[in-house]
Amino acid sequence: MQNVYEQVSANKTRSDIVIILFIGFIILAAYAITVAFELDPSVLAIAAIFSIVSAVGSFYFGDKIILSLNGARLADRKEFFDYYTVVENLSLANQSPMPQIYVIDSPAPNAFATGRDPEHAVVCATTGLLQKLNRTELEGVIGHELSHVKNYDIRLMMIVSMLIGSLSILTNMVQRNRFFGSRRRDNDSSINGLLAILGVFLLIFAPLIGKLIQLAISRRREFLADASSVKLTRQPQGLIDALKKISSDPNALSSASTATASLYISNPFKDNKLASLFSTHPPILDRIKALESML
Amino acid sequence: MPILIIAVVVIVLYLVGFYNKVKTLQVHIRASIQEIGNQLKRQAELIPNLVESVKGYLKHEKGIFEDLVSARKSITEAVATNNPEKIDQSQQLISKVLGSLKVIVESNPEIKGAQVTTDLMNELRDTSDKVMYSRRTLIDVTADYNTAITTVPGIWFASIFGFKEEKGLITPLSGEHLEVSAEDVKTPKISLN
């Protein structure tokens, strides 16, 4: 098994690879299209600016964007005493700086951590999670999130979900154009040409998105975080009970999207078919089994 | 000749890395001892508040005030010396006071129900957790340190720099709690009158 230093350097390298792949791919695709259809070179410039801004923005502001997309707010110590102090205590044991602490108002029990490094990390839990779990169970979940923080999983997962997000903005734009275009097909044939290009664009992006997801979601990541959580709390039963409660809860988290699903401790969509296609999380039962072997 | 130079460079680089690693661990050890002390101090400062809120019920427990005073004094002294053993001893004093306070709170529904007491008990529980986690950090860091200087190749160089094994917390490996006295072996007699 990798130790934490190897995990950190693997995650940093993978983050760099993802960024380079993303920028390179978009510029290359834009270049191919400019040449093939003799478009204005400004297309290339726009593509370059778009990809670089997305990548840099993801790195520095990804955490803020993810938090605001999920409707998270800062948690204060008085209102969320157990949550706040558990994060404080486990950061002490984790020997990592205290992250910023956020809550999402939702009955679905779930949690995630994000940020570019442990110094700029954020831990976020839903109010449902905080109400349904007792302190020991909460320690298990927070321990899991803090191990994602310490081994830089948060950086990789943040960048990937942000870049998938910006790709999906692109593909949404394309889909909307196609919709409008099909109505005008009869009177405007140049639009059809453009749509063909964008269709090619989409085809190119599909495997890229797949590759990105694959890079981020090694299922081992979750098992590792579970194991590190137990190393922090020394209480496998807490995390086992928490996972059972989380997985048996009927509420789905409405603010989550395919892009951000991989961030959460458990699949936020529950039984959604699209989500299980991407399968961002190993089955909870397997995780519980792994934890029970530590008892 | 070039091989010799490369070998020397490699060894020097290793030594620099080794020295820095061990020194960093030493700093961590000291910091975590400090942290235990800080948390114990915090705990000791919270207790008078709890005492204040249950004052009316303490008539028969005068001893608790004296225990509290001596526990706080010993913590302040222990933190000043930064000696894990002394810190440990003062922690036992604090636990004693806390234990008897808890009994009072638990056995009096009126105090137990009060918001102030609940908040204080939560704070105290949290501080105990913090003490526990900082103790564990000390244990972990000490173990890392001792492993670094007692395994090959570290052990060959540890004496050059004068690195010695750190004791860390003594309680986990030795101490009264591991010794079984004759008292412990006796079957407890319970009488229900």
Q: For residue B192, is it within any domain?
A: no
Helix (H) / strand (E) element for B115: namely: helix B115-150
Span of A220-224, A246-250, B114-118, B119-123 with lowest mean pLDDT: B114-118
* Yes or no, beta carbons of A90 and B137 under 8 Å apart: no
pTM above 0.95, yes or no: no
pLDDT at B120: 82
d(CA A118, CA A95): 10
Judged against a pLDDT cut of 80, whether residue B185 lies above it is answered with: no
Beta-bridged to residue A125, according to DSSP, are A103, A111
Tell me the chain A residues in contact with residue B122 when contact means C-beta distances shorter than 8 Å: 81-82
CB contacts < 8 A (A, B): 21
Residue with tokens 């961002």: A280
The dihedral through the CA atoms of A144, A145, A148, A151 has a sign that is: negative
The pLDDT mean for chain B works out to 80
Q: For residue B149, is it within any domain?
A: yes
Q: What is the mean pLDDT of residues B159-182?
A: 67
* Yes or no, beta carbons of A85 and B129 under 8 Å apart: yes
* Yes or no, beta carbons of B137 and A81 under 8 Å apart: no
The answer to whether residues B25 and B148 touch, using CB atoms and an 8 Å cutoff, is yes
pLDDT at A124: 95
| Residues of the domain holding B80 | 2-178
pLDDT at A79: 92
Maximum alpha-carbon separation in chain A: 70
Q: Could you read off the pLDDT tens digit of each residue along chain A, which spans 295 residues?
A: 567 778 888 889 888 988 888 888 888 877 877 777 777 788 788 888 888 998 999 999 999 998 998 889 999 999 999 999 999 999 988 889 999 999 999 998 999 999 999 999 999 999 999 999 999 999 999 999 999 999 999 998 898 888 877 877 766 665 565 544 444 444 455 556 666 666 666 666 666 666 666 655 667 788 889 999 998 888 899 999 999 998 888 887 877 766 677 778 877 766 554 444 455 567 788 888 889 888 7
pLDDT at A208: 67
Q: Sheet of A100-104: strands edge to edge?
A: A72-74, A100-104, A121-126, A111-115
Residues ≥6 apart with Cβ < 8 Å to A106:
A126, A127, A128, A251, A253, A254, A255
| Domain range list for chain A | 4-292
Q: Which residue did the predictor score with more confidence, A211 or B11?
A: B11
Q: Is B137 part of the contact surface with chain A (CB cutoff 8 Å)?
A: yes
pLDDT at A183: 46
Per the structure, the count of domains in chain B is 1
CA-to-CA separations, A289 to A116, A276, B147, in angstroms, rounded: 31, 20, 32
| Interhelix angle B84-107/B63-81, nearest 10 degrees | 150
ipTM: 0.71
The answer for B 13-42 residues in CB contact with A (under 8 A) is 28, 35
pLDDT at A103: 95
Q: For residue B40, is it within any domain?
A: yes
Judged against a pLDDT cut of 60, whether residue B2 lies above it is answered with: yes
Query: Please, how many CA atoms are within 13 Å of residue A222, restricted to the half-sphere of its CB?
Result: 24
Active-site residue numbers of A? 145
